[in-house]
Amino acid sequence: MLFGAVVTPKEVDDALVQGGEKAKIQYIAFPVAKFNDQVKISDEDLKQFFQANSRDYTVPEKRAFQVVVVDQAKSRLTAR
């Protein structure tokens, strides 16, 4: 059995905007040079920290999709 759905170009545009234009950003700005001489971190320290906290550095979920545009007038699939 074949099922289908028809969506308008506006519905596609709205879905793209809704899924792609949201961001939550938090940051603190400070002069790095002020603290450079106070911090001494070795490569081994960084490696150990990363290994202990690797779950915090995972790659977030990614999504991909393809859009197929079908001219219903030229299609063999017609509503009955």
Structural domain count, the chain: 1
Residue 52 main-chain phi, psi, to 5 deg: -70, -25
Residue 4 or residue 65, greater confidence = 65
Res 79 pLDDT > 70 = no
DSSP structure class, residue 70: -
42 is in which domain, residue-wise? 24-56
14-66 per-position pLDDT tens digit: 887 777 666 777 888 888 888 888 888 899 999 999 999 998 888 888 888 88
Q: Is 71 within a domain?
A: no
What is the pTM (predicted TM-score) of this model?
Answer: 0.33
* pLDDT of amino acid 50: 92
8-28 per-position pLDDT tens digit: 888 888 887 777 666 777 888
Q: Is 77 within a domain?
A: no
Question: Which residues does 78 contact at the CB level (< 8 Å), separation at least 6?
Answer: 72
Q: Is 9 within a domain?
A: no
What amino acid occupies position 60? P
Q: Is 47 within a domain?
A: yes
Q: Is 52 within a domain?
A: yes
